[in-house]
């Protein structure tokens, strides 16, 4: 099982949009996928059609030690969601009063079987993001074609260094991902140049800005459901690039993906 986190200390950089389209994209390729919503805003849950008003959520898993098995919601073929809602907002405080508060998600996922887990986190770097990074094999940092997003990445890196030192030395930076790119604007070009110079692991795939992203989110669809949505084609390419970067997903899962593609 490979676990990846989509994180950046800056808000509104397309973390949730990226987590959604990776999770759905992996599931569409036949991979047994889990999406975990670690953001009290609950946007990922809502975009997967789960309002999470009453049911057990990731909060009960983190704070009360509930098994994730009892909180998963099957949202699409091959895709289970561990949902979140606004009650997660005080989890930082609740977790800080518990032992091994940074290890709760990793421990909770120990008995879970899946091919791939995608975790969406809030823009703040608190216990929720740390729990996700401690549980992960790698992370992707969306950069919304604004210079501040690169500062958000630098802030995230400070936490990543601590997580590597104390909990998870193998945590990989899979790469920055340029999102909401407007090819003709100078800002996008400058950010892209700087990003690729500073981080050679920047994903080749660039997610273009597309008005249809909001349209999809509002109508409870993904960009894959909307014909001609450019960002949907970009996310399909990203799914392939992430899988190639993870490389060793295992023969069984690779075979499942190939079988799905041949259909």
Helix axes 186-198, 147-166, angle to 10 degrees: 30
238 near ligand ATP, rule: CB under 6 A: no
131 near ligand ATP, rule: CB under 6 A: no
Q: Is the CB of residue 127 less than 8 Å from the CB of residue 91? A: yes
79 binds, among ligand ATP, Mg ion, none (CB under 5 to 8 A by kind): none
Q: How far is the CB of 65 from Mg ion (least distance, A)?
A: 26
Q: How far is the CB of 53 from Mg ion (least distance, A)?
A: 19
**CA–CA gap between residue 128 and residue 130 (Å, rounded):** 5
Residue 94, both tokens: 């609740």
| Nearest CB to ligand ATP, comparing residues 3 and 17 | 17
Q: Which of 17, 46, 57, 85 binds ligand ATP (CB under 6 A)?
A: 17
214 near ligand ATP, rule: CB under 6 A: yes
Contacts by residues 48-51 (CB-CB < 8 Å, ≥ 24 positions apart): 48/20, 48/23, 48/75, 48/76, 48/79, 48/81, 48/83, 49/75, 49/220, 50/75, 50/81, 50/83, 51/85
**CA–CA gap between residue 125 and residue 132 (Å, rounded):** 11
17 near Mg ion, rule: CB under 5 A: no
| Nearest CB to ligand ATP, comparing residues 67 and 185 | 185
Could you tell me which stretch among 11-19, 131-139, 154-162, 253-261 binds Mg ion (CB under 5 A)?
11-19
156 near ligand ATP, rule: CB under 6 A: no
Could you tell me which stretch among 35-43, 128-136, 146-154, 159-167 binds ligand ATP (CB under 6 A)?
35-43
Residues 6+ apart with CB under 8 A from 14: 142, 144, 179, 180, 207
21 near Mg ion, rule: CB under 5 A: no
Three-point CA angle 166, 125, 167, nearest 5°: 15
16 near Mg ion, rule: CB under 5 A: yes
Q: How far is the CB of 105 from ligand ATP (least distance, A)?
A: 18
């Amino acid at each position: 099982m490979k676990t990846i986190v989509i994180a950046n200390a800056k808000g509104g950089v397309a973390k949730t949009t990226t987590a959604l389209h990776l999770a759905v994209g992996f599931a569409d390729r036949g991979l047994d996928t889990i999406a975990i919503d670690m953001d009290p805003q609950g946007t990922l849950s809502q975009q997967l059609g789960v309002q999470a008003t009453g049911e057990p959520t990731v909060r009960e898993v983190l704070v009360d030690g509930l098994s994730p098995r009892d909180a998963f919601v099957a949202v699409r073929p091959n895709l289970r969601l561990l949902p979140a809602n606004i009650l997660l907002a005080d989890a930082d405080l609740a977790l800080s009063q518990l032992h091994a508060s940074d290890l709760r998600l990793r421990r909770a996922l120990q008995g879970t079987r899946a091919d791939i887990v995608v975790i969406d986190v809030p823009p703040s770097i608190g216990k929720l993001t740390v729990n996700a990074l401690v549980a992960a094999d790698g992370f992707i940092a969306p950069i919304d074609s604004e210079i501040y997003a690169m500062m958000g990445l630098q802030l995230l890196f400070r936490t990543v260094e601590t997580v590597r030192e104390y909990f998870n030395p193998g945590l990989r930076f899979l790469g920055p991902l340029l999102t909401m790119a407007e090819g003709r604007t100078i800002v996008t070009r400058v950010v892209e140049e700087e990003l690729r110079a500073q981080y050679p692991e920047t994903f080749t795939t660039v997610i273009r800005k597309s008005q249809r992203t909001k349209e999809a989110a509002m109508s409870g669809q993904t960009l894959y459901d909307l014909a001609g949505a450019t960002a949907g084609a970009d996310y399909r390419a990203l799914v392939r690039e992430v899988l190639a970067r993870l490389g060793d997903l295992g023969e069984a899962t690779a075979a499942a993906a190939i079988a799905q593609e041949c259909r």
